[in-house]
Chains A and B, each alone.
Chain A
Amino acid sequence: MWWRNTINELVKIATKIRSYIGIGALTLLIFIVLFAMKADGKSYIGFVTASFEQTLSFNGKILNGNLIAFIIMQMLIVHVPLLISLVTGDLLSGEEAAGTVRMLATKPITRTSIVLSKWFSATIYTLIMTVWLGFLSLFVAKWMFGSGDLIVLNSNGLLIIPEADLAWRFGLALIIAFLALWTVATLSLAFSAFAKNSVGPIVSTMAVIILFTIIGTLDVSVFDSIKPYMFTTHMAAWRSVFEDPYPSYEILESIIILSAHIIILLGITILRFNKKDITS
């Protein structure tokens, strides 16, 4: 019954227009970035290497598909959560707003199973978005720009990663990015369990992300103790995969904290939905 309910939830997501807004916006944004890089990518490279250009010359194909994929991931990973929460923030509150939540509760399935069905559907949607992001940024970018070594700029300077060492890094980066987006999807689902319409959970999710991101970037010691536990701190953990040496402990820590957020938020959602008065 749980599986049939989950299929039903997936069909509901597939039939809603808003589900395609995210995928459409993602596709459009990526093609805009690809077009911009094709037109004026060299100036971006100059921006990255400018500090060294007086003394050193960079030879080889710097502007390649791998760099474009990295740039796209860096740009979009901030905005994709909004596109995800457009769908996942509506999953429970949408039923309440449409008045279908009571009918849903009459099914021979526990409320916990209803939440788990919706959460699993949200997971599938998030996975599709991440795979689509990966496909467009990696395969289309490589098709347009060719392949090559990746030049990464971080606060320690420039790191050049050989092409042969990139496939697993991009794979792992996408898995961690998925985990971060999954956390956002679960957060908006949790807000959705508290709300009676879809706008509230979507706006609340974005407000939390913005608030936590600002706290994370504030260089004030009073927040130092909470920063490591905020999920926004670990949303960019995928970027650490492109460091050398590869910081496995920090990445594992991010995976654990994001996973803990998912479990706790899912627990809150189940608890809230089980206690929710849907009769009035």
Chain B
Amino acid sequence: MRLIIFLFLFITTVSYSQTATSLLKGVIDKIDLVNDYKADVQIKAAIPFIKVPIAKAKIYFKKKDKFKVESDGIAILPKQGLSDLTGFLSKESNYSAVLGEVKTINEHKTRLISVLPTDENSEIILAKVYISPTDELIYRTVLTTKSSGTVSIDYEYNLNKKYALPNKMTFTVDIRKFKMPKSVASNIRNNDKEKKYKENEKGTIVLIFSNYIVNKGISDDVFKKD
């Protein structure tokens, strides 16, 4: 009887593990179709302590990890979650994946896959990836990183589903307490309008992508630092 229960649990675990891996593989297969891309991106940021106008930029990506943002003005982007996550997921040896709950995100039925890195020095501590089994696309990622805290990313897709390239990404990031360098920040009027920091303040950055040009080739010179 014990043997049967053990075998049942073993088989269940293995099958779940295979499902998690196969779900991820479906996504990775789509990502792997992309050798390079460039796209226009509109960046809307609503971050405590930062007032920033809507910025327009161009992003460039080339396999495996070349990534560049080019903007005329100042554009604020999240430090984590743009190209690093796909790079991390692409190497299966980097992590182990566990299948989790079913969740509906923006009317898409998804399965949670908890991804744990195998390397103890990995920047990513835990990645919760919500993948739709029907179209094999990531609809939400909750990344816990060493240096940036927790970053939640919601994805929306439009024309480039076959490459798993989103047309909209909404980042929700933790904003740590803003330390004001007093020498540069002295206001002429000591009024009480100054913002006070609240614990666990969150900021959102919305990236709207357009004009994707995929697999048309991008020169390495583009990624050289100015």
Contacts and interface: CB of A to CB of B under 8 A. Distances in A.
A225 interface: no
Contacts of A162: 53, 73
Interface string A225-244: 00100000110110110001
A8 interface: no
Interface string A57-71: 111111000000000
Interface stretch (A95-103, A115-123, A152-160, A202-210): A152-160
Nearest to B70: A59
Contacts of A161: 53
B26 interface: no
Given A48-B181, A51-B178, 20 more contacts: A51-B177, A52-B50, A54-B147, A55-B175, A56-B173, A57-B69, A57-B77, A59-B71, A59-B77, A60-B71, A60-B75, A151-B74, A153-B184, A154-B185, A155-B180, A156-B193, A157-B49, A160-B50, A163-B73, A219-B190
A181 to B, nearest CB: 16
Given A237-B188, A240-B188, A56 B47 contact: yes
A9 interface: no
Contact of B74 (A74, A149, A233): A149
Instruction: Please tell me the size bucket of the interface on A.
Output: 35 or more
Contacts, number: 126
A158 B50 contact: yes
Contacts of A53: 79
A224 B178 CA distance: 27
A201 interface: no
23 contacts: A51-B49, A52-B50, A54-B79, A54-B147, A55-B175, A55-B176, A56-B47, A56-B79, A57-B77, A59-B74, A153-B180, A153-B181, A155-B194, A156-B49, A156-B194, A157-B49, A157-B195, A158-B50, A159-B51, A161-B53, A162-B53, A162-B73, A234-B188
Interface string B181-199: 1001111111001110000
A157 B50 contact: yes
Interface in A137-183: 148-149, 151, 153-163
Interface in B167-222: 173-181, 184-190, 193-195, 203, 205
Interface of B: 47-53, 55, 57, 69-79, 147-149, 151, 173-181, 184-190, 193-195, 203, 205
B226 to A, nearest CB: 9
Nearest to B151: A55
Given A153-B185, A240-B188, A57 B76 contact: yes
Nearest to B193: A156
Top 5 A-B pairs, shortest CB-CB distance = A157-B49, A60-B74, A149-B73, A236-B188, A149-B74
Contacts of B51: 156-160, 244
A100 B140 CA distance: 83
Given A54-B147, A157-B48, A159-B51, A59 B69 contact: yes
A50 B205 CA distance: 19
